[in-house]
Structure 1
């Protein structure tokens, strides 16, 4: 049950996130649907390619595609005045999708009997892969490549699940809420990882 719930949550959240980014960039209706679908299923496709599962398995998720299409349609038809702060809402839905798909990806790896390292990588790729493709198609620098804390939360979820510290569904859902909250808090307060710039310093005279 937890697998299906997380799949639905992640699909809805990332489909909405992709649609919002497309509307921010003033894409047409086709672009909105394309970016929404790619964001919702891109991470799973990358994960499957890495761990040896046929990418074609994604096409068997008929229900998830239907859920994604309905979610994108509702967002597109939603009154613009009710979604005045597009960027903020996009980041909130992105946080939900990141958490849900990171946990789902880690569970996928564990169920295949793969090691902890594979669970961490699967969590990061499933949680952030769709967002990376979305940002590239939208002409943006992917969040995961910035110094802003993003994929780290997915990696932590993957580590916890890979070590098989989760013994009950309620603990799994608690982890989902915690990872989502951490991502939102890091976005609001602009937490960042250490970085070094190689750009020359301009001295104003």
Structure 2
């Protein structure tokens, strides 16, 4: 039940996120649907490739595809003023990250992968769709910038990999905690250490 609920939550949130980004960069309706779908399903597809799950399983999620299609359609039909207001919200991306991070970790844990693989599965499921979205929108991927983003997904994977969350209410609580941490880190501008190199100027 937790798996299905998080799947729906993450799909809706990332479908909205992808559609909004597509409209921000002025893609047409096909581009909007494409970017919305990629954002919603890209992370899971990449995870399946790394964990040996046949790619055909991606196409068996008919209900989720319908949900994503309806979600993107609603966003596309919203008035421009409403869409503009939505662009100011980071909550959709945070919800998608949190839901898919927990779901990805649950998947890896269910097939008895080691702790590092569970953390990777959480990270790539939670952030993979957003990475592909940003690349296709010709933007610098958010996950590779200084913002605390993928670290929260890895923490979710660590918690699940250590068997600290087993019962449904614990998994839902973990989802809420990761969501809250992501929103707080964005609002207060938390940053990870970064180092940049400038070209040396010759004389």
TM-score clears 0.5: yes
> What aligned pairs does 1:26-41 form with structure 2 within 5 A after superposition?
26-41=26-41
Partner of 1:84: 84
TM-score (norm 1): 0.95
Instruction: Work out whether residues 10 and 100 of structure 2, in 8 Å CA contact, stay in contact via their aligned partners in 1.
Output: yes
Cα distance in 2, alignment partners of residues 96 and 51 from structure 1? 24
Aligned to 1:198: 197
Distance in 2 separating the partners of 1:138 and 1:83: 17
CA contact (8 A) 1:100 1:176 kept: yes
Distance in 2 of aligned mates of 1:81 and 1:147: 30
Residue equivalent to 2:124? 125
Runs of 4+ displaced beyond 4 Å: none
The answer as to whether partners of 1:153 and 1:179 remain within 8 angstroms in 2 is: yes
Q: Take 1:41 and 1:84, find their aligned partners in 2: how far apart are those partners? A: 24
Contact 1:149 1:193 in 2 (8 A): yes
Given that 2:147 and 2:191 are in contact with CA atoms closer than 8 Å, whether structure 1 keeps it comes out as yes
1:187 paired residue number: 186
1:94-128 Cα offsets, whole Å, 9 max, x none, are: 10000000000000001111111111000000000
| 1:178 corresponds to | 177
Q: Supply the distance in 2 between the matched residues of 1:156 and 1:201 (Cα, whole angstroms).
A: 38
Alignment correspondent of 2:17: 17
User: Unpaired segments of 5 or more residues in structure 1?
Assistant: none
TM-score by length of 2: 0.95
Task: Return the offset for 1:178.
Answer: 1.0
1:65 maps to what in 2? 65
Q: Distance in 1 between matches of 2:185 and 2:158?
A: 19
CA distance in 1, matches of 2:109, 2:189: 32
Using the TM superposition, give the Cα deviation of residue 181 of structure 1 relative to its aligned residue in structure 2, in angstroms. 1.1
1:27 Cα offset (Å): 0.6
Q: How many angstroms apart in 1 are the aligned matches of 2:74 and 2:33?
A: 11
Q: Please, which moves more after superposition, 164-173 or 134-143?
A: 164-173
Distance in 1 of aligned mates of 2:197 and 2:6: 40
